[in-house]
Chain A
C-alpha cells in the first residue's frame, strides 16, 4: 500500500465532527449506515469529479447501506473506508471489507466501552459521591472522565483507520482494544469496592431513618431492570422510571 494521501485539515475536522452524529439516522434497516456515509462525505468530495462526479455518488450510495458497529469505533471504519475510496480500491474488496469489519468493531467496542469504561466511570462517580463531592462534582466526574476516553477513541479511530486502510486489523490489535477491557474490569472492581461502603455511609448520614426503605426499593428496582432489560426498549424503561420518580417526589 502506498502512503495515505494528505487530507486538508478542514476535511479532517468536518469528518471528525460528523462522527458524533453517526447514530443520527439510526434505524433497524440500515442501522448506522447513513451515518457512516454522512461522516465520510466531506472526504468523498475529494474523489475524481468532486461532488458532481460518478465516483462521489457511487461511494455515497455504497456507504449508506446497512452498517452496524460500535458507534465510537465506527470512526475506525470511516477512516479505513475513506482511505480505500481515495486509493481507488476495487469495489468488491471495499464491500467485503465493509461487511467484515462490522462485527469485530462492534465486539471490540462493546467489550471496551459498554462492558468496561461506562461501568468504570459510573463507579468512579459513585466514589466521588461517597467521598463527599457535590452533585455538580459527581456529574463532572462522570461526564468528564467518560468523554475524555470517548472523544480520544473516536479521534484515534479515525486517524488509525485512515493510516491503515483495509489493513485495519493491525489497529484492532492495539493493546488498548485487546487487553484494555481486562485492565478496566480490574480497575472497576477496585473502584466499585471502595465506592459502595462510602456511598452507603453518606446516604445513611443524610437519611438515617429511610436507608432501609430506600435500599429495599433500589434492590427491587435493580431486580426489575435485570429481569426486563432485554424485553423492552430503554426509552420505555426511562419513562416508567421518570413517572415513578415523579409520583415518589409528590407523595413523599
Chain B
C-alpha cells in the first residue's frame, strides 16, 4: 500500500492524525520523521502511547526515512508520514521523487511566525521551503482534517490568519 499522506505537523502524533486521518484511512502505521525524536527513547515511548495498539509507529531521522521509504511503501496497510518541520519535509521531497503531495497539517504560533490560517503560522524560511517543494512539482496544500477544504499553497501564502 502507498503512504497515503505526507504531513507537516509540529505536534507530530496527536488526535487529528490518529483519529481524524487514522480512522477514515484505516492507517496501519505512521512514519514519524524527526532527527531529535529518532535518538530519544523517552520521547519515542511518549509518542508510542498516543496511538492505538493496532497502529505501528516507526521513528526515523530524515536520512533513515529516505533510505527506508521504499520498504515502507511495500507494507500491506496504508500509512502516513509525519514530519515536524518544513525543513525536514523539504529534505524528504528533494531526496524522494515519489512524494507528490504534501499536506500542511499544523504549524503553530511561535516568535517570528505570521498567521496564515488558524492552524498554520509561517516564517520566511518555512515559506521558502514550501515554495521549493512546489517548484519540484509537488502539490502543497493546508488541510487539518480530511473533511476540511484543502487550501492550495498560493492561497495559503496570501492569507493573514482566520
Binding site for B on A (CB under 8 A): 28-31, 66, 68-70, 96-97, 100-111, 114-115, 166-169, 172-173, 177-179, 181-182, 229-231
Contact = CB atoms under 8 A, between A and B. Distances in A.
Interface residues of B, number: 37
Contacts of A109: 15
B96 to A, nearest CB: 24
Contacts of A29: 108-109, 115, 121
B15 A101 contact: no
B108 to A, nearest CB: 6
B19 A114 contact: yes
Nearest to A169: B45
A181 B46 contact: no
A107 B149 contact: no
A111 B46 contact: no
A172 B23 CA distance: 20
B49 to A, nearest CB: 3
Contacts of A231: 147-149
A101 to B, nearest CB: 6
A109 B52 CA distance: 11
B11 A106 contact: yes
Nearest to A179: B53
A117 to B, nearest CB: 13
Given A66-B110, A230-B148, A110 B15 contact: yes
A103 B12 contact: yes
Interface in B10-52: 11-19, 23, 36-37, 40, 42-43, 45-52
B118 interface: yes
